[in-house]
Amino acid sequence: MSLWTAAEIAAATKGRATADFVVDGVAFDSREVGPGDLFIALTGDTTDGHCFLDQAFAQGAAGALVSRETQQPSVEVADTFAALEDLGRAARARVSGKVIGVTGSVGKTSTKEALFAALDRSPAAKAHRSVKSYNNHTGVPLSLARMPRDSDYAVLEMGMNHPGELAHLTTLVRPHVALVTAIAPAHTEFFPHEAAIADAKGEIFQGLEPGGVAIVPHDSPHRDRLIAAAKPYAARIVTFGLDRAADVHALEMARTSNGGTFVTARVGEHELSLTVSQAGAHWVSNALAVLAAVDAVGGDLALAGLALAELGGLAGRGARREIAVGEGSALLIDESYNANPASVAATLAVLGDQPGRHVAVLGEMRELGAKSADYHAGLAPAVIAARVEAAVLVGEAMRPLAQALEGTVDFVHVPDAAAALEHVSRVIAPGDAVLVKGSNGVGLARVVAGLSNGVN
């Protein structure tokens, strides 16, 4: 069954098909186009997708969505971005399965991936999800446009940097279940206080379908604020958390030999035991959120437990690997994709639980606004509690943390990822546990890639 025909694309976007074609995928980045895809030629301030039409078709595109005349098979529209949104709306309208929207300051991509794995575990169900972190004004409609028409479940991530963004995205997704993972300082450059972040995340509830379920973090200081935001739109509100007062909570927890957690959880009237393969209390919270969402859409909780036990680490978000160091090896914990104060503290706690010497490569946290210096300096207790013996602090914004650590932790302060890789390659030793964590723009993925090649 094709994803879209040219006629369906034209009808959804009010465009004109210049040829008859079918597509099995959708992309707006010409580098990601594969055989049988629809290439959407978006135009922006600095780029114009129409310049890459030849490349897209050379890579196998079956058709294109364009706003100017071309000789290739296409659907012509007035505005390709508006057409992308229209295609996303049409995809959502034709799917009868359950749709889950996920947002939060931390953990949303990890929870989205875990939730997809839990729902996709059933051989009788077809699940769809956003890929990568496609969660913004272009990523959300793209993820919708890619959704197969026979999807039983769809898990769609939604992010935001400013108030009002989620209010629009949630009207495209129209979730049956809206989940907020956690609220923490992130993008504080654009918000006066953390409560304003909670308000912006709470916009996700505005798009709930009739009879929809809102899932809220019970342990958050903003729980009641989120519940108030959900009440006008949700038929039911479910809380999750480590506190036993939550609707979905952990009854017992015990660390496993491989760093995960064995959990006995209460989910409504059900009690089940499962292993969360990923390390850290934050992953137990993610797992409880997953169980709450699976239960809300009538999924199989037992299969969800199996999926959480089998879940592998996500690149940039907790993936673990043994890297060659001299005649031995070291543990590398890859958290290089993003960072804010809450997520850095959580992953430092994970590092602190590892055997061996603890090495931390910490990149600056961006978009924290006027309180950036305080947030960076505030990481010092977490660094010390994790018993970090060698730290590499990356970026100018890390200077306050460097000052806070003076005389307590052996550290160096370097300007960029290249310098960080050079230094950590000199100090790492067999048996070490190495955490790499920072905002994506710092480029610490290059440190992970360099260390993965081995250290002499």
Residue 146 φ/ψ, nearest 5 degrees: -85, -5
- The DSSP bridge pattern shows strands 74-76 and 22-23 to be unpaired
231 marked ligand binding residue:
no
268 marked ligand binding residue:
no
Could you give the maximum distance between any two Cα atoms of the chain, in Å? 70
Cα separation, 59 vs 249, in Å, equals 48
**Degrees, nearest 5: CA angle 155-309-306:** 70
277 marked ligand binding residue:
no
DSSP 46-103: S-BGGGGHHHHHHTT--EEEESS--SSSEEE-S-HHHHHHHHHHHHHHH--SEEEEEE
For residue 198, the Cα-to-chain-centroid distance in whole angstroms is: 17
132 marked ligand binding residue:
no
- The side-by-side arrangement of strands in the sheet containing 213-217 is 127-129, 153-157, 98-103, 177-180, 213-217, 236-241, 248-255, 261-267, 270-276
Judge whether 86 and 14 are in contact, CB under 8 Å: yes
Cα separation, 443 vs 338, in Å, equals 10
171 marked ligand binding residue:
no
110 marked ligand binding residue:
yes
Q: Give the DSSP letter of residue 369.
A: G
* Percentages of the chain per state (helix, strand, coil), in multiples of 5: 40, 25, 35
441 marked ligand binding residue:
no
Tokens of 388: 């970090």
Q: Cite the annotated binding site by residue number.
A: 104-110
Q: Cite the annotated binding site for ATP by residue number.
A: 104-110
